[in-house]
Amino acid sequence: MQTGLLHLHNLLRWIILILLVLSIYKSYIGMSSKKPFEASDKKTWLFTMIAGHITLLLGLYQWLLGRYGLLSYVKAEDTAGANIDSAYLRFFQMEHPISMILAIVLITLGHGMAKKNVDDAVKYKKAFRYFLLALVLIIVAVPWPYRVLVGRPLFPGM
Ligand code: HEM
Ligand code: HEM
């Protein structure tokens, strides 16, 4: 089950990235063309946030109870990984989770602009900034396959 959940966590990355790029594009268009805020913008932002929250939930599970989970991983008992690099553990136990939690908070704040009682231009502008910052954080903190030490496959089980 743990592997299945990790595969889901891996796959959701693509859903988040696609929806986030779409949210950024739509808020940029709204911001630059000064058009009124639309229901379709709100929906895109909501789906982006839901994808973020589901990934967060799956990530929290991996973080606490996964193979390298803070509560489940005991270095001395892990014979296969006894020589595991501390930079590797630091990435999956600290850098990745903390950056991603921050990114998901930013996505939630971006979506929250849809409900704020402010001018549409302000909604678009602030949401654009939150989403863009979240995208940068995610791109930096994903274990892309080319990354030394922490690289992981682009798709589950590859
Ligand atoms: C540990 C897991 C989660 C945490 C800490 C969390 C946290 C939050 C927070 C703080 C909000 C309020 C955001 C706001 O007011 O703008 C929220 C709203 C929401 N979350 Fe999550 N969430 C989690 C998991 C999930 C999951 C698994 C789903 C979907 C399957 C989900 C779907 C939603 C939806 C639909 C909303 C309401 C959006 C709206 O304003 O209409 N969340 N969540
Ligand atoms: C935008 C959000 C996120 C994205 C795009 C993302 C992406 C990924 C990817 C691609 C992997 C590698 C999966 C594989 O090996 O097949 C991974 C692993 C992992 N993620 Fe995330 N993640 C996100 C959020 C989080 C959060 C919020 C947490 C913790 C709270 C978390 C904890 C972990 C852990 C612990 C692993 C390693 C699990 C293992 O190897 O056993 N992730 N993540």
Q: 54 in ligand 1 pocket by Cβ < 6 Å? A: yes
Domain span including residue 102: 2-73+88-141
pLDDT of residue 77: 66
Predicted confidence pLDDT, tens digits, the chain (158 residues): 889 999 999 999 999 999 999 999 999 999 999 999 999 999 999 999 999 999 999 999 999 999 999 998 887 666 666 667 889 999 999 999 999 999 999 999 999 999 999 999 999 999 999 999 999 999 999 999 999 999 999 999 88
pLDDT of residue 79: 66
- Asked if residue 81 belongs to a domain, the reply is no
Largest CA distance in the chain: 60
Which residue matches tokens 């803070």?
70
Which listed ligand is nearest to 152 at the C-alpha? 2
Q: Would you state the structure tokens that stand for residue 149, as one six-digit string?
A: 């030490």
User: Percentage helix, strand, coil, to 5, in the chain?
Assistant: 70, 0, 30
Of 2, 121, 7, the residue nearest 55 (C-alpha): 7
Q: 8 in ligand 1 pocket by Cβ < 6 Å? A: no
- Asked if residue 40 belongs to a domain, the reply is yes
DSSP label at 75? G
Which listed ligand is nearest to 45 at the C-alpha? 1
Number of domains in the chain: 1
- Asked if residue 65 belongs to a domain, the reply is yes
Closest ligand 1 atom to the C-alpha of 50?
Answer: 32
pLDDT of residue 80: 65
